A and B are shown apart, each in its own frame.
Chain A
């Protein structure tokens, strides 16, 4: 459903992505791993359209996204939950979730999606009238994911959902994401530093380094091959 070939992007002439080939099939869950500065966030931004590409193509469900502005890509079902959460701190949780349903295809399903989101993240149910800024880091991350789910994504992209969270909070965010992926068949890209958690919910992974794909493998291969694990998953476990 998503096919990227020979994608290049740069910031002020400094390359951030050098010839990326990348695919996600319908309903597939794909992890993107790799160290800080590898280009993971940049890759997601080229898909959602907030970073311009220098060369290469991005096709979504057969259509070239090149001339599509970001809001048209959301309209097509590409939903990006950005790194650093970016919730609307001065607005209530309810308003944040309403903004999640902003896209055309999601407005009339607001009620149904709200039920789903509160089932996945029950902690949000008591917070609906609070300002986003008054939530804890973990709750804000849940809200950020929930807001993305409200949009009825066809492709959901989660950028480091555990970043900056205490281990317990990160665990409950991941539990919610796992519940989501069980009940939905949405194609999903998960960018993570916590590689093992990401691999538990994904079928396949790409490892990025310095703007290049250095490895593409199934999660089985990555988790069972000790050399691969040692080389690419760090010494976390």
Chain B
């Protein structure tokens, strides 16, 4: 039992970060039906930003840097929507162009970083990087606990924004039926731009929550892209809540499976569960025939 808990708790902690990474992807898909293949590379960029703020003279703690990361990536996401995404969605929807555009953006991000910073792994090690506390027999890493709490807090704020604010309501309306939202006077271009910015910022914050225990390379996105997509599909395509639950679930499975099998095959368990859930519930855990974010 103790052994099980020793794996369950870290699984929940990392799952919270996966959840945040995935809810950004899920929000963008839910609102504008764009599969953003560059999402994990926005995460990678955010990790480099956190690293630069920490290592580059400023010495800013990566957890304290989160508001800055959020706003930088909110603006970057909105800019990317304005420059590119808006031309391939809505009335001009073109799925081929979306795929090529977002994969291309991701490759550009990776290579710009490769040119600027090389492929040498970077680490962010604040003084408390290895600290932790025992609760009973279970060791809880300080940085992983902070990463979890941060992820849950940021996700909760974004849920509040979507459900309580007028702009959030307009975003949900546009995601369900953009034509109807247009007739309500919703500026779809604007709600899409905000949703894309917020979606990118969520994943970016997830990335900066990871930097204290995940080394950073230009290709670190590839390690998380599978987890993010699996979480989004598992939770029900287009449901932000579902993406969040899917992320936690994947963290738990990856971790708890190590009670029985080696860490090397932890993703096999993820895919086994993935197939099982889609077999039982083809629309994912929270997916409905109707669209709702």
Residues of A within 8 A of B (CB): 48-50, 69-71, 74-75, 79-82, 86-91, 95, 98-100, 102-104, 107, 133, 147-148, 151
Contacting residues of chain B (132-170) with chain A, CB-CB under 8 angstroms: 166, 169-170
Q: Chain A residues near B176 (CB, 8 Å)?
A: 88-91
* Closest 9 pairs (CB-CB, A-B): A74-B185, A90-B292, A86-B180, A103-B185, A71-B187, A80-B183, A70-B182, A99-B184, A102-B184
Residue pair B290, A82 in contact (C-beta under 8 Å) = no
- B169 touching A133 by the CB < 8 A rule? no
A89 to chain B, nearest CB (A): 5
Q: Which of B183, B186, B292 contacts A48 (CB 8 A)?
A: B183
Identify 11 new A-B residue pairs, CB closer than 8 A, beyond the known A71-B185, A99-B181. Answer: A50-B182, A69-B187, A69-B189, A88-B172, A89-B290, A90-B292, A91-B172, A95-B169, A99-B170, A102-B185, A102-B186
Query: Smallest CB–CB gap between A38 and chain B, Å?
Result: 21
Q: How many Å lie between the Cα of A91 and that of B292 in the bound state?
A: 8
Q: How big is the B interface, by class?
A: 20 to 34
Q: List 30 A-B contacts (CB under 8 A).
A: A48-B182, A50-B182, A50-B183, A69-B189, A70-B183, A71-B182, A71-B187, A79-B183, A81-B183, A82-B179, A86-B177, A86-B179, A88-B180, A89-B176, A90-B172, A90-B290, A90-B292, A91-B172, A98-B169, A99-B170, A99-B173, A99-B181, A99-B184, A100-B184, A102-B169, A102-B170, A102-B184, A102-B185, A104-B185, A107-B166
B166 / chain A contacts, CB cutoff of 8 Å: 98, 102, 107
| Contact flags B176-219 to A (C-beta < 8 A → 1, else 0) | 11011111111111000000000000000000000000000000
Interface centre among B166, B172, B177, B185 (most CB of A within 10 A): B185
B187 to A147, Cβ gap below 8 A? no
Residue of A nearest to B166 (CB): A102
A107 and B172 alpha carbons, distance in the complex (Å): 18
- Cα A86 to Cα B188 with chains together (Å): 16
Taking the closest CB of chain B, its distance from the CB of A118, in whole angstroms, is: 19
CA distance A103 to B189 in the complex (A): 15
A217 smallest CB distance to B (angstroms): 29
A107 nearest in chain B by CB position: B166
CB distance from B176 to the nearest CB of A (A): 5
Is B288 interfacial (CB 8 A cutoff)? yes
Contacts A90-B290, A90-B291, A99-B170 given; does A50 touch B184 at CB 8 Å: no
Give the nearest-CB partner of B172 in chain A: A91
The winner among A74, A79, A147 for most chain B CB atoms within 10 A is A74
Residues of chain B within 8 A of A100, CB atoms compared: 184
**B186 / chain A contacts, CB cutoff of 8 Å:** 71, 99, 102
Counting residue pairs across A and B whose Cβ atoms lie within 8 Å, the total is 74
Q: Within the assembled complex, what's the spacing in Å between the Cα atoms of A147 and B291?
A: 20
Q: Which residues of B from 64 to 86 have beta carbons under 8 Å from A?
A: none
A79 to B184, CA, bound (A): 7
Residues of A within 8 Å of B291, CB to CB, are: 90
Q: How far is the CA of A107 from the CA of B165 in the complex (A)?
A: 13
- Do A99 and B169 touch across chains, with their CB atoms under 8 A apart? yes
Contacts of A91 in B (CB 8 A): 169, 172-173, 176, 292
Chain A residue nearest to B183 in the complex (CB): A80
